[in-house]
């Protein structure tokens, strides 16, 4: 299915293509084999293990990236929404096999751009290449945090470890600014948002942290470190 005007407008507002004029982007895409795809809620978009040779970017709706163990247990790795690219690093990895199954959470529409065509666009738009590299780096950091968080026994331990490490990466050392929504952060910890909010509220009640909007100030670093597993 070819892209319509709304699709191109949505794509132009995505993280990767931000800054590129809609008309210029439309002209560039017309020379590629970019196509739009629609899926109903609950439909499998892509299966784990399939070849990933076309970059997918979500235009509307959401999809979950899931992994299933040999015992049949399914874990949601993350939820992707409008404007987000799917598996940018996998597209350029040897073999290019998708490690997760993608399932539409609601009515979903996305665009697929062949790898060669996307590389051509990166050559034409340097800002696109920079955004791609940034996305790949952010994705790696997200997966690293996800893996680390799942290695700890309790949610409280995971949150304490994440807060300490995030603060250590900042010059101020005691303040963490959430660069993403609490829904996305909850996905990192593998829990629902209410569970994350309850644990953060408990840390506030114990005087370990202070929260104002997306800012979290560490009030008792020693207390937080004591919560981390030994």
**What are the 10-residue block averages of pLDDT along the chain, 230 residues in total?**
89 90 92 93 93 95 83 75 91 88 94 95 93 84 65 77 74 68 75 87 92 87 80
pLDDT value for 124: 93
Q: Are 21 and 58 in contact (CB under 8 A)?
A: no
Q: Which residues contact 44 (CB under 8 A, 6 or more apart)?
A: 101, 102, 103, 104
pLDDT value for 70: 63
171 burial (CB, 10 Å; 0-12 / 13-18 / 19+) is exposed
pLDDT value for 107: 96
pLDDT value for 72: 65
In whole angstroms, what is the distance from residue 109 CA to residue 104 CA?
9
Q: Are 216 and 182 in contact (CB under 8 A)?
A: no
Q: Is the pTM of this model over 0.75?
A: no
Give the right CATH number for 5-139 from 3.30.230.10, 2.40.33.10, 2.60.120.10, 1.10.3720.10.
Answer: 2.60.120.10
Return the structure tokens found at 24: 């210029």
Q: Are 6 and 22 in contact (CB under 8 A)?
A: no
pLDDT value for 38: 96
For CATH 2.60.120.10, the residue range(s) in the chain are 5-139
| Domain with residues 152-227, CATH architecture | Orthogonal Bundle (1.10)
């Amino acid at each position: 299915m070819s892209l319509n005007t709304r699709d191109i407008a949505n794509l132009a507002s995505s993280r990767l293509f931000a800054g590129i004029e809609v008309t210029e982007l439309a002209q560039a895409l017309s020379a590629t084999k970019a196509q739009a795809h629609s899926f109903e809620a609950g439909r499998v978009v892509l299966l784990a293990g399939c070849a990933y040779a076309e970059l997918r970017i979500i235009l509307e709706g959401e999809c979950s990236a899931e992994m299933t163990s040999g015992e049949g247990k399914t874990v949601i790795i993350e939820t992707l929404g409008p404007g987000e690219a799917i598996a940018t690093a996998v597209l350029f990895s040897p073999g290019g096999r998708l490690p997760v199954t993608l399932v539409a959470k609601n009515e979903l529409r996305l665009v697929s751009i062949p790898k060669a065509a996307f590389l051509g666009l990166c050559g034409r738009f340097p800002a696109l290449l920079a955004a791609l590299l940034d996305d790949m780096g952010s994705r790696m950091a997200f997966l690293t945090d996800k893996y680390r968080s799942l290695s700890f026994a309790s949610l409280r331990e995971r949150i304490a470890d994440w807060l300490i490490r995030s603060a250590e990466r900042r010059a101020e050392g005691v303040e963490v600014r959430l660069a993403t929504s609490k829904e996305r952060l909850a996905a990192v910890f593998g829990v629902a948002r209410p569970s994350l909010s309850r644990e953060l509220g408990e840390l506030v009640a114990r005087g370990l942290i202070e929260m104002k909007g997306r800012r979290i100030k560490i009030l008792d670093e020693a207390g937080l470190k004591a919560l981390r597993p030994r």
